[in-house]
Amino acid sequence: MWAGRHVVLGVSGGIACYKSCFLARRLTEAGARVDVVLTQAAAEFVRPLTFEALTGRPVARSLWEAGGALAHIRLAHEADLIIVAPATAHLVARVAQGLADDILTAVLLARRAPLLIAPAMNDEMYARPETEANLARLRAAGVAQVGPEAGALAEGPSERPGRMSEPATILAHAARLLARGGPLDGRRVVVTAGPTREPLDPVRVITNRSSGRMGFDVAAAAWERGAEVVLIAGPTSLEPPAGPSIRRVDTTAQMEAAVREELPSADLLVMAAAPADYRSVEVASRKRARGEGSLSLTLEPTADILASTRGSRKPGAVIVGFALETGDAVARGRGKLERKDLDLIVINDATEPGAGFEVATNRVTILDREGGERVLPLMDKRAVADAILDLAAARCV
């Protein structure tokens, strides 16, 4: 996504400047060429040297000394994307008025690339009608905005927005802007994630060790590619990704009902969840005490969600299943792909180190309906998510 992309990161003079250092770092690590442009006030908060060291590139801070004449035009025209984070009240006002009185505003006025701003300011400044009007004007001109959010400000906690969005959130919005016109832009993607749990009594459940990480990463990656994403999540303690709308479910029956509801409008379904395969035939209405002696459970299979919702699929929808096996994974995965009428199946072997549940990495093989087989190396789950979406997006025609 970011490799080879040229990003201009404009930084204006707010206390959130320190977070822009992380942003510059993350973009550079992801492979982008990052040119930082500072206002004079921003340079009071963070020295240009810091950004130079983080990006490995010179920092522009004045119209009169920035690597020669017309540097602002070169930056404006070469950029694939411009991000301004933080965008102060003053910067927003200047851009809304079309001013070009320093190098950052000159770059912004001459821009050809999409612009994302991350406002950050005192909550009173943000609530002021002047600021509101300036931001509305920029949005009407096609400028994308992320945040601000409520939470801790330099002067103390606030219930009202003002705080700059976190770098990870800004990056997700920036990626989405870059993905405009791509194969998943505007598509509806439904992703299931995590385990489900089946009650035995009011306090005990049967569940499994799925963390939800794989599905959360697929949902985040699909959203960054421009999709409208619904994430149907079983119980997990993970922080939800910025962007996708989340439907929380508990049991396999609830997950099945949610998939059935969302499926008719889905262009792509990625079933990354590990729903409980069995539930207790009887659910006690009270907690059974240990002193009552040994306990036998009779379990019955839960619904096979992919099979039972097959009739709800939108014609032409791309369906991706997952199969976690403990041996003979490829042959069993191929059988599932055919039986469940899938386009792709992602298989992994829970007995392999670094793969499967409760780890940040995965080693998967992706089978397709035409008989193709791709064996991927051990990768972090976000990279696996991107590999899955590359293949799935190519089928969304």
Ligand X SMILES: Cc1cc2nc3c(=O)[nH]c(=O)nc-3n(C[C@H](O)[C@H](O)[C@H](O)COP(=O)(O)O)c2cc1C
What's the min distance (Å) between Cβ of 305 and ligand X?
Answer: 47
Residue closer to ligand X by CB (options 150, 299) is 150
Residues 28-67 that bind ligand X (CB under 6 A): 39, 41-42
Phi/psi at 396 (nearest 5 deg)? -85, 85
Residues 262-281 that bind ligand X (CB under 6 A): none
Rounded distance between C-alpha atoms, residue 386 and residue 242, angstroms: 17
15 binds ligand X (CB under 6 A): yes
Residue closer to ligand X by CB (options 130, 390) is 130
Could you count the other beta carbons within 10 Å of the beta carbon of residue 49? 9
Question: Is-contact 365 373, C-beta < 8 A?
Answer: yes
Three-state SS at 230: strand
Candidate residues 79, 121, 178, 263; the one interacting with ligand X per rule CB under 6 A? 121
Here the contacts of 258-262 (C-beta below 8 Å, separation 24 or greater) are: 258/232, 259/190, 259/192, 259/232, 259/305, 259/309, 259/312, 260/308, 260/309, 260/312, 262/190, 262/230, 262/232
Residue closer to ligand X by CB (options 40, 308) is 40
In angstroms, the Cα distances linking 38 to 10, 48, 363 are: 6, 8, 42
88 binds ligand X (CB under 6 A): yes
Candidate residues 13, 212, 215, 226; the one interacting with ligand X per rule CB under 6 A? 13
Is 122 one of the annotated active-site residues of the chain?
no
Tell me the window of 89-97, 135-143, 174-182, 299-307 that interacts with ligand X (CB under 6 A): 89-97
Positive or negative: CA dihedral 117, 122, 127, 132: negative
Residue closer to ligand X by CB (options 41, 359) is 41
Residue closer to ligand X by CB (options 147, 226) is 147
* Catalytic site residue from 122, 208, 348, 362: 208
Candidate residues 8, 10, 12, 117; the one interacting with ligand X per rule CB under 6 A? 12
Positive or negative: CA dihedral 380, 381, 386, 389: positive
* Binding residues vs ligand X (CB under 6 A): 12-16, 39, 41-42, 88-91, 120-121, 125
Q: Which residues are catalytic?
A: 208
